[in-house]
Structure 1
Amino acid sequence: MKNTHKKQLNPRNYEAMSKDEIVSFLIEEQTRNNELETKLAAMQEMFKKVMDQHYGKKSEKTKALKDQLSLIFDEVEVTSSTDEELESELDDEKVVVTKKKQGRKKISESNANLEVVEIVHPMDELIEAGYENIGEKTLEKYRYQPAKIWIDRHIYPVYQKELEDGCTDVKSLYEGHTFLKGSGASESLVASVINDKYAKSLPLYRIEQSFKDLKADISRQTMSNWLMLASRSYLTPLYERMKHQLLQCDILHADETTVKVINHQDGSDNQKSYMWLYRSGVTQPNILIYEYQPGRGQRYPKEFLEDFKGYLHSDGYEVYKNLDGTTQVGCLAHGRRKIVESLKSVIGETEGKRIGSTILKSINHIFSEDKKLSSLECADRKTKRDETLKPLFDALKNQLSDANLKVLPSSVLGKAIQYNLNQFESFQRVLLDGRLELTNNRAERGIKPFVIGRKNWMFSNTTRGAKESGIMYSIVQSAKENGLRVEPYLIHIFESMSQKTAYDPTYLDSLLPHSKSLPDHLYIKSKPSR
């Protein structure tokens, strides 16, 4: 076999090489070694990142990094607590010093919304024996009544009368099924199934099993039919009104996540379909809309937001950018997350770790200063942000630009820095309006219930089912965001809508989860002031 290796610098060929050849050889070897070390460092970072993603802590809090930061960088400007953490720690110390130990609260004091049933245990014989009642002792316990399912058999007597003209008049109160015509389901049972599946993330087979435990034989196929019919008959009209009102807002948040559909009915054959979420801003009525689509392209948000004009909070995904009538506002939390992940993957005491830690501190400082402005009116918040946050953003931009020249672009930290630079203009758009937020966390919180549910039911059987699920998630999660008790709220709208044959917009608006005209008893606590 032909030997293709370069000359090695060893005693055998050293004397045969000229001075220039030796110098050239050493330079080439040094360059090659540097390249190999760079590739090895990048591979080690990627390996550590993958291991952290699978087995490490998922928290993004800066505090989670403290044990991983190098002692050599244990300077005040790198490892000091963020302002809000420091303030919290100081407050905790004050509590320890000044606060006296309190007795245990009665459970009725911690659960003001629960009914309290008083059971008195008198000893009347002692009163008759001459004892005097000098007070009382109380004992409180939680009680639980297991669920119960039964069949109501409604009996409507039928009456007839022979009229003078020879005709027979027949009368009865019987009108047939008013709710889900042709179905034996009641409003309360369907509301319970929807709550279990879309609020508690239980798959239908578990709900089926729970019914069997109650001696009820109700198959998941039957329940699925109920939900589909309830969605089309009652929830879809509400969903369309919610979507209409959402698009009248001028601040939205958006996100998307995957959903697997087995039987496509829309002509697509995608392995991955998507559930898109659009929700209102923090200063507007709580409306969440989930929309199933077979893909992840820009055509889907473009179609949904066709009538929307305003600010759109999102992550850095390109499809949210350059939409007509929208100004995309980036998520600084995503930028911070990239830096946090890169610091977890850095091995050893490196200059890169110091650079990343300094950038992270600057980002945390922006969050800390913005939190101090949260109680201000929107106009005042915008003014204060211009005064305090704009200089901090400018300084962060300089840090990122400087770091981009020093950190290897192919490293995890280098990619995190480049991501922040690419999205930086969208980060700064938070300064345009006092109602805007530094993050897209509202959308991420909104998409999370669907992600949790997906872990339990894994896939949707049909495209139609995925679309109806989006509608039911929209109603249920909007109800939760507005402080409603989901089951009683669903029962309320089912009972009301099943008595009507047509729905006008004003009537539908009165039933929406954010409506101000809903009865007080539907709320977990008191009706929120809006």
Structure 2
Amino acid sequence: GKWACKCCQLLVQEPAAPQVFDNALPTPGLQAHTVISRFVDHIPYYRQEQINARTGVRIPRSTLAAWGGQTGAQLMPLHEAHRAFVLASRIVHADETPISLLDPGAGKTKKAYMWAYARGAFEPEPGVVFDFCAGRGGKYPCEFLTGWSGTLVVDAYSGYDAALALDGRSTAYCLAHARRKFDELVKANASVVAAQAIQRIAWLYRVEADARDLPAQQRLQMRQERSGSLWQELHLWLQLERTRVPDGSAIAKAIDYSLNHWAGLGRFLLDGAVPIDNNYVENRIRPWALGRRNWLFIGSQLAGERAAVVMSLLQSAKLNGHEPWAYLKDVLTRLPTQLNSRIEEMLPHKWKPAD
């Protein structure tokens, strides 16, 4: 409100509450709604513009996009703290998925990648962080994982080799990837051996189902008692079957994949905190696959980086059981006055609604 004194001609105005966007019209609730619609509900900005217009609120899509980008920029300090939290885990999952990036000079899109890194599947405090990169080369995980040591759970993509070559790091390969190569042959009725491999792998997964809720040490003990012999039998059986199938055949390639990565595939038998596969982070990266079907492409490198910031926090909030709109609205309300020394209080695994 504003007040004017008739006697001294002074204008007095009540100080405005601190906002993430200085001198901006949108409230934290509207900002959160716009970002949630884009990154959780996967609604493109042009459709949000149409939806808003039906209620008499006309906000150009360019304005909505600017709000989304500014939100990502303002959340950067929180994102950096969240990244440190994720990389504090001794077990980290990693995966990547292609994202179309607008290439204005060429008049079309080019392929970029969204990399995902998640805390171990058995961690009591979950978290995932995304990193938007122009390519799929090994330099990207190398740079992101600087200073980290532990076990990296990945598929057998060679791009991770450079990152895993450093001391203090070990590899756990994804058994689900090995299984899929046999499963493709089973679905095509192309191999009896593949069906037998699927059955043997299923026995291992039954043990994992029983051990899922146990502490790491007890889980490791159950694996060694029940899965150890199954794993050895599978190895001997694969070696025997490999001698019976012709080189270059589809079943030979499926068997070779498992045998060539056997040590990494069996890492779960040495550490109870290591999962048997990488499905955990694959599920975390799925929203990007859903989103790109709707908004089709990322407008720029900067937009991709800011989208990664927003999505990291929102997906982690969901992992920790929070309603994403309530979380983001509260964070955007408190962020302008939050001390940097207390920024971790707003991380998804620590956040509590304001009183």
* Coarse TM-score class (shorter-chain normalised): over 0.9
Partner of 2:115: 276
Structure 1 residue 222 and structure 2 residue 56: aligned?
Answer: no
Structure 1 residue 286 and structure 2 residue 129: aligned?
Answer: no
Cα distance in 2 for partners of 1:226, 1:399 equals: 58
Partner of 2:173: 330
Q: What one-letter code is carried by the residue in structure 1 that aligns with 2:97?
A: T
Cα distance in 2 for partners of 1:161, 1:373 equals: 78
Q: CA deviation at 1:170?
A: 4.7
The question of whether the paired residues in 2 share the 8 Å contact of 1:253 and 1:440 is answered with yes
Structure 1 residue 503 and structure 2 residue 339: aligned?
Answer: yes
Structure 1 residue 457 and structure 2 residue 295: aligned?
Answer: yes
Cα distance in 2 for partners of 1:487, 1:465 equals: 21
Q: What one-letter code is carried by the residue in structure 1 that aligns with 2:324?
A: V
Cα gap change, 1:161 to 1:310, in 2 (>3 Å): farther
Q: CA deviation at 1:412?
A: 2.1
Partner of 2:353: 519
The question of whether the paired residues in 2 share the 8 Å contact of 1:382 and 1:432 is answered with yes
Structure 1 residue 157 and structure 2 residue 2: aligned?
Answer: yes
Cα distance in 2 for partners of 1:186, 1:318 equals: 46
Cα gap change, 1:190 to 1:425, in 2 (>3 Å): same
Q: What one-letter code is carried by the residue in structure 1 that aligns with 2:186?
A: L
Q: CA deviation at 1:162?
A: 6.5
Instruction: Give the alignment's TM-score, normalised by structure 1.
Output: 0.63
Q: CA deviation at 1:257?
A: 0.6
Residues 235-261 of structure 1, C-alpha deviations (whole Å, 9 max, x = no match): 111110000111111111000011111
Q: CA deviation at 1:169?
A: 5.9
> Which residues in structure 2 correspond to 1:44-443 (within 5 Å)?
156-160=1-5, 170-175=11-16, 178-233=19-74, 235-263=75-103, 271-284=110-123, 285-321=125-161, 322-324=164-166, 325-347=168-190, 353-443=191-281
Cα gap change, 1:385 to 1:419, in 2 (>3 Å): same
Which runs of structure 1 show a deviation greater than 6 angstroms over 4 or more consecutive aligned residues?
none
Q: CA deviation at 1:443?
A: 0.8
Q: What one-letter code is carried by the residue in structure 2 that aligns with 1:375?
A: D
Cα gap change, 1:520 to 1:335, in 2 (>3 Å): farther
Cα gap change, 1:375 to 1:460, in 2 (>3 Å): closer
Secondary structure of 1:158 counterpart = strand
The question of whether the paired residues in 2 share the 8 Å contact of 1:283 and 1:435 is answered with yes
The question of whether the paired residues in 2 share the 8 Å contact of 1:179 and 1:186 is answered with no
The question of whether the paired residues in 2 share the 8 Å contact of 1:288 and 1:477 is answered with yes
Cα distance in 1 for partners of 2:303, 2:213 equals: 43
Secondary structure of 1:420 counterpart = helix
Cα gap change, 1:397 to 1:520, in 2 (>3 Å): farther
Residues 426-467 of structure 1, C-alpha deviations (whole Å, 9 max, x = no match): 110111211111110111001100111011111111111111
Residue ranges of structure 2 left out of the alignment (5+ in a row)? none
Cα distance in 2 for partners of 1:462, 1:376 equals: 45
Cα gap change, 1:365 to 1:186, in 2 (>3 Å): same
Q: What one-letter code is carried by the residue in structure 1 that aligns with 2:196?
A: T
Q: What one-letter code is carried by the residue in structure 1 that aligns with 2:3?
A: V
Cα distance in 2 for partners of 1:311, 1:228 equals: 34
Q: CA deviation at 1:317?
A: 0.7
Partner of 1:470: 308
Secondary structure of 2:339 counterpart = coil
Q: What one-letter code is carried by the residue in structure 2 that aligns with 1:303?
A: E
The question of whether the paired residues in 1 share the 8 Å contact of 2:91 and 2:150 is answered with yes
Cα gap change, 1:222 to 1:490, in 2 (>3 Å): same
Residue ranges of structure 1 left out of the alignment (5+ in a row)? 1-155, 348-352, 522-530
Q: CA deviation at 1:270?
A: 9.0
Q: What one-letter code is carried by the residue in structure 2 that aligns with 1:225?
A: A
Q: Which protein has greater RCO, CA pairs closer than 8 Å, 6+ apart?
A: 2
- Matched pairs, number: 349
Cα distance in 1 for partners of 2:322, 2:142 equals: 32
